[in-house]
Structure 1
């Protein structure tokens, strides 16, 4: 038994290590790699792990951990703010998608009750797949990421009463039992849900306080696992979703002081089990059925993806979302979901759907899940660029020449600080920023910012560059920064240039272009923290400040020397090594710095 279990673990790990990196290098993402690995080791190809259904049931724990981690990142106050998106946008999307898919299923010959179950089941999306894709690209906190999460959360909530109602939709069961069993299940589910929230509110913090007091990382991690699995099991026993229970537990802990420690302990389990889930989905795909009727299955898969994509986009537009966001949501949520497996299997168990039809639909859902990573890659690298290019060509603002003293190119975190100071001094300035989302955001707070490329002569001219005294290049991206500098130096030579340098290389590029007023964005903050650290060690304030000032002066000299060997890597390395030795010698020779102190003696 133990040998068989270890052998299965070895097979899963080997398949993941060999196949997933290939898909990552091809730019197809991890999810598609895990699905392909599951197909290869599953019953349909090599049959290395025959019990695909058992693996799929166990791997549902990966979804549980994923939803728990997401709950940890959603404070109750933020969840309250999202209620309109969850229930307003979510209910609209489910209604539109279920209607379109149910009509299509009825048109293909299913009874009204069966068509409704199929339409709703196929209308559900894959929560782990979508959130994993968004997480890979760090887009969970974007507007389309938040809306996608809201839709997925509502779908999980809506699936629960539908799952309870499926036995009632079967005519024989409905006539025999009436509505009492459904009412009983609803009451039990509501009680369990309320019990989880109330119990978690009063018990979770004391429980983790007790675990933390033991100063044992193993005990703390075990407590986190106990909470996740316990909440999931409670919901499962009540007939609800395990993932919903884990999500609620995460939300209850989102405001606690233990949140980050819990997340760090749970993360390894979440990643491994989620990969196992995608491999299990690949294993359950009936590839033999695809070989028997390829055209039918591919047509159904294509129809499902298109119908869901259109319905998602339509719901987003009806809810007031822009075209770009609507298309993004349509692509992201165009697949079937793992909850569809559960609903369709439940419908087959009460003879509401034929078992062969359910097998066919489960394969279609699996194939639709495999298309999403590909479609999302095409969307990111193709469709989004088309939107960006069209906006850049046609949507630049027309800045008004308000005789500003200063022009600021770029209004991110760096530029905004300068803008606030200038505004406080009532010094007129004009801002150009090429990031339309950033422009829209800062305008909400009353800032006068224009959307436009600061390297374009006509926009600089319209902004008052002829009469301005200086231009601050606060753009963080080196290439964009250098384009602006080159254009200004050529067409507006009277403008004094003050520039932000991302790093030493960027600083050298700016210096070679003739810019003399340069601030390296991390240097001041790093030196300030260094000074505070020295003070924290017990070194007197004036001595710590002198140490930092000496470093700054030496570093400026080293930067100038390194500029002379720009482009020669061998000489640059030699210059850097020489500068490090010079700094040590300089510190040793400086009496103020070399003064002994208790703190320095302790360090040495």
Structure 2
């Protein structure tokens, strides 16, 4: 058997096992890939003797990662949050880079290596932190906003680092650095103009034709080709391939194909990024890592402390509360995935010794491993710090976890997709206390921002059900039409609660007998009409008069299911360009201080002109369901918008940026 094939097979096998194991204990998949690289590398098993053989494929992973980052890059959001992004974010990157570079220069006496180390340690993990913030319901909190704004600027700062690091390797004197940097910036500006022109006038026509043909594989191929051609174009001008991919993503991020492009690129990006992190792990000198473990632990503590102090100082200077400032600084303590990218790039240009690179990778691995725990325990740690410095305790209203604070609910909804959200709306109209569980991170994040009571987790796990007191609930609804998952959830429910009525939604009747035997009280069929039947059963069992139920159902039918239109999208939502115009989304938009809509009335804004309506406005703890044209928006208001995906995007851009 070909040795190259065997090597790849072994890498895939060990990666699958480790990713499964790491995710089971709620650690980031990045750590699993790094561990796989360490095991497969020359210092442990020696399966892969030369990691450079995989360098090109791994670099494609970085290209696709930057392409995805460009797609998600929101210029209106960045402008609306400019005070935090360009105040706090810029200050954090500059100050931390200078401090870390100064410390590194003291030990290395090499300013080029010191600059790389400073840049690597100044960046935090966007992927890990955003995911953990979403899962712990802190994304819309003030400390979450501060954290996201800082991460947004850090992502922007990656681009100049990608330009400067190759220049450091090719420059001997200080004067030539500035000359080369000016030349690189000129080339970069030229490439930006070319790519933006292509993105505005050429690519929309190409993707329109591809979408018209309805050929999925052609759409995927075209997406990959655009990312790689853009990367190749910047490489041709002596710049980083990743920079070109970022620009390509940014120019397509404003198009109507954004969601489909993102969905198509994700599998390739994740697999190739996994291979990239495996190659980083292979480059880790295990002997150096073990011998310097005490320095690595000290490095994590020192880097975390400096970042926390810098973010806290800057945020307080900008008028933020002390507890939010400490919280944001604590969340940004780790080294990020782009740090690994910069370390790999610096190794390629021989700017860092292998021993130093191994220590940096070790600091990154340990920091990422601790991040989920630190974010989950953020409030207690902040409270301890505040007590230490003699400040007041943290705000009790900050959401620390998606789990309710010892909250006992009357109705439990398992699955918060379209049907689950429909059920929730009817229950809310009747004032019936309820709680939902869903395992789609993005959907939970959107729903929480819109004021829904949702708990992130797998509805089939007993520990998750116990966390929401499922053993005491009177009525449980399983709203996802996945029969095997529903059966798992039923068994878990009945192991905790044998008295609750359990109503199950099913796609058809093929598993009806199995569900009834597993403990279902009633099984209800699918489609929108089926969701109305499900609502009638729920309202009946909660004591609502049958005449009122029939009246509500009749009203829903007479309004052509108007109340059922609009749902929170998730990662699994079909964003096909041919179908996207028929969808009606719900999306929560927070109005920052510098947003265009702040201080303006709804009549002045005229959102109806772009086919978008406001379902509700959340102001602090108050949820305002009915608003008229004279209603004036204030900073930190959260608007729940309803409309088509393009109308939602246009409305958000308008509200934030005018």
Short-chain TM bin = 0.5 to 0.7
Residues 240 and 86 of structure 1: CA distance in aligned 2, closer, same or farther (over 3 Å): farther
Decide which moves more: 76-85 or 127-136. Answer: 127-136
C-alpha distance in 2 between matches for 1:325 and 1:155 = 21
C-alpha distance in 2 between matches for 1:376 and 1:98 = 21
- Which residue of 1 is the match for residue 611 of structure 2? none
C-alpha distance in 1 between matches for 2:428 and 2:25 = 45
Residues 20 and 109 of structure 1: CA distance in aligned 2, closer, same or farther (over 3 Å): closer
- Which residue of 2 is the match for residue 53 of structure 1? 52
Residues 41 and 260 of structure 1: CA distance in aligned 2, closer, same or farther (over 3 Å): same
| Residues 1:360 and 2:330 aligned together | no
- Which residue of 1 is the match for residue 211 of structure 2? 212
Matches within 5 A, 1:104-143: 104-108=103-107, 110=109, 115-125=114-124, 143=144
- Which residue of 1 is the match for residue 3 of structure 2? 4
- Which has the greater radius of gyration? 1
TM-score, normalization by structure 2: 0.57
Q: Is the 8 A contact 1:66 1:128 kept in 2?
A: no
C-alpha distance in 2 between matches for 1:294 and 1:528 = 57
Relative to its length, the structure with more helix (as a share) is 1
Residues 503 and 83 of structure 1: CA distance in aligned 2, closer, same or farther (over 3 Å): same
Q: CA deviation at 1:315?
A: 4.2
Residues 54 and 141 of structure 1: CA distance in aligned 2, closer, same or farther (over 3 Å): farther
* CA shift digits 1:240-292 (9 cap, x unpaired): 44334323322332343333332332221112112112211111101122345
C-alpha distance in 2 between matches for 1:138 and 1:14 = 34
Q: CA deviation at 1:132?
A: 6.7
Q: Please give the secondary structure, in 1, of the residue aligned with 2:202.
A: helix
C-alpha distance in 1 between matches for 2:120 and 2:246 = 21
Residues 283 and 237 of structure 1: CA distance in aligned 2, closer, same or farther (over 3 Å): same
Matches within 5 A, 1:36-435: 36-108=35-107, 110=109, 115-125=114-124, 143-144=144-145, 146-160=148-162, 162-163=164-165, 166=168, 172-174=172-174, 177=176, 179-296=178-295, 298-300=297-299, 302-319=301-318, 320=320, 323-324=323-324, 326-335=326-335, 337-341=339-343, 344-345=346-347, 348=350, 358-384=353-379, 395=396
C-alpha distance in 2 between matches for 1:138 and 1:224 = 33
Q: CA deviation at 1:4?
A: 3.4
TM-score, normalization by structure 1: 0.61
RMSD over aligned Cα, in angstroms?
5.3
Q: CA deviation at 1:38?
A: 0.9
C-alpha distance in 2 between matches for 1:419 and 1:556 = 8
Q: CA deviation at 1:197?
A: 1.6
Q: Is the 8 A contact 1:133 1:373 kept in 2?
A: no
Residues 138 and 30 of structure 1: CA distance in aligned 2, closer, same or farther (over 3 Å): farther
C-alpha distance in 1 between matches for 2:58 and 2:466 = 45
Q: Please give the secondary structure, in 1, of the residue aligned with 2:156.
A: helix
* CA shift digits 1:416-440 (9 cap, x unpaired): 9799989xxxxxx9x999xxx9999
| Residues 1:529 and 2:519 aligned together | no
Q: CA deviation at 1:326?
A: 4.2
Q: CA deviation at 1:33?
A: 1.6
C-alpha distance in 1 between matches for 2:80 and 2:70 = 14
Q: Is the 8 A contact 2:84 2:149 kept in 1?
A: yes
Decide which moves more: 326-335 or 262-271. Answer: 326-335
Q: CA deviation at 1:22?
A: 2.1
C-alpha distance in 1 between matches for 2:47 and 2:367 = 27
C-alpha distance in 2 between matches for 1:250 and 1:260 = 12
Decide which moves more: 117-126 or 24-33. Answer: 117-126
C-alpha distance in 1 between matches for 2:540 and 2:267 = 43
C-alpha distance in 2 between matches for 1:527 and 1:57 = 48
Q: Please give the secondary structure, in 2, of the residue aligned with 1:247.
A: helix
* CA shift digits 1:288-338 (9 cap, x unpaired): 223455545554455444434544454444453653564355344421612
C-alpha distance in 2 between matches for 1:254 and 1:393 = 38
C-alpha distance in 1 between matches for 2:49 and 2:446 = 52
Q: Is the 8 A contact 1:121 1:344 kept in 2?
A: no
C-alpha distance in 1 between matches for 2:11 and 2:368 = 21
Q: CA deviation at 1:238?
A: 3.3
Q: Please give the secondary structure, in 2, of the residue aligned with 1:289.
A: helix
C-alpha distance in 1 between matches for 2:228 and 2:54 = 17
* CA shift digits 1:358-381 (9 cap, x unpaired): 323211221112112321132144
Q: CA deviation at 1:557?
A: 12
Aligned length: 465
* CA shift digits 1:136-167 (9 cap, x unpaired): 87987873563353033132134145336535
C-alpha distance in 2 between matches for 1:245 and 1:285 = 28
* CA shift digits 1:170-202 (9 cap, x unpaired): 6x5346x57543322221111112221222111
Residues 288 and 441 of structure 1: CA distance in aligned 2, closer, same or farther (over 3 Å): closer
> Which residues of structure 1 form unaligned runs of 5+?
350-354, 398-407, 423-428, 444-476, 486-498, 533-547, 561-604
* CA shift digits 1:508-553 (9 cap, x unpaired): x99979x9xx999999x99882279xxxxxxxxxxxxxxx77x888
C-alpha distance in 2 between matches for 1:82 and 1:385 = 28
Q: Is the 8 A contact 1:166 1:346 kept in 2?
A: no
C-alpha distance in 2 between matches for 1:432 and 1:163 = 54
C-alpha distance in 1 between matches for 2:139 and 2:233 = 28
Q: Is the 8 A contact 1:90 1:154 kept in 2?
A: no
C-alpha distance in 2 between matches for 1:271 and 1:136 = 20
